[in-house]
Amino acid sequence: MRLILLLTALLVLLDAHAGKIDQQAALTALQRDDSLLIDVRSAEEFAEGALPGAMRIGHEDIAAQIHTISPDKNRPLVLYCRSGRRSALAQQSLENLGYRQVINAGAYDDLLPLLESKE
């Protein structure tokens, strides 16, 4: 019984981490040459505007496509969407695949001014 409670608590902690938006970690990771910025919004949203240097992989397709784009599971992957919800789902999928440096950067509209101020 204790083991079940311990495992349940561990899963809750892992899930809480997976959805957390961390814009500061995202900005730090994006300063690295090996980081990858991924927009997990729809193609239509991406066409309306995207962050400079971002590539688009829909959140529903990221688990199937990431190995061709980034086989290195230690590469920093910075994800964003419209609100942070889809990027949280994509983050969880990637972490389940063993990717270790996946950052949910949150919303496009929140990140754009932060990145523009860094230029």
CATH code where residue 105 lies: 3.40.250.10
Is 81 labeled as catalytic in the residue annotation? yes
Tokens of 119: 């230029």
Contacts of 16 (CB under 8 A, 6+ apart): none
Domains: count for the chain: 1
Q: What does the pLDDT read at residue 116?
A: 86
Enter the pTM of the model: 0.84
Measure the CA–CA gap between 92 and 103, rounded to whole angstroms.
10
Instruction: Report the DSSP beta bridge partners of residue 37.
Output: 78
The residue count for the chain: 119
Do residues 36 and 76 lie in contact, with contact meaning Cβ atoms separated by under 8 Å? yes
Q: What does the pLDDT read at residue 119?
A: 67
Catalytic residue (one of 62, 81, 88, 90)? 81
Q: What does the pLDDT read at residue 53?
A: 95
DSSP β-ladder status, 102-107 and 77-81: parallel
Residue-wise pLDDT for 50-106, tens only, equals 999 999 999 999 999 999 999 999 999 999 999 999 999 999 999 999 999 999 999
Q: Which domain holds residue 110?
A: 2-118
Residue-wise pLDDT for 6-56, tens only, equals 444 444 444 444 579 999 999 999 999 999 999 999 999 999 999 999 999
- At which residue do the structure tokens 């309306």 appear? 48
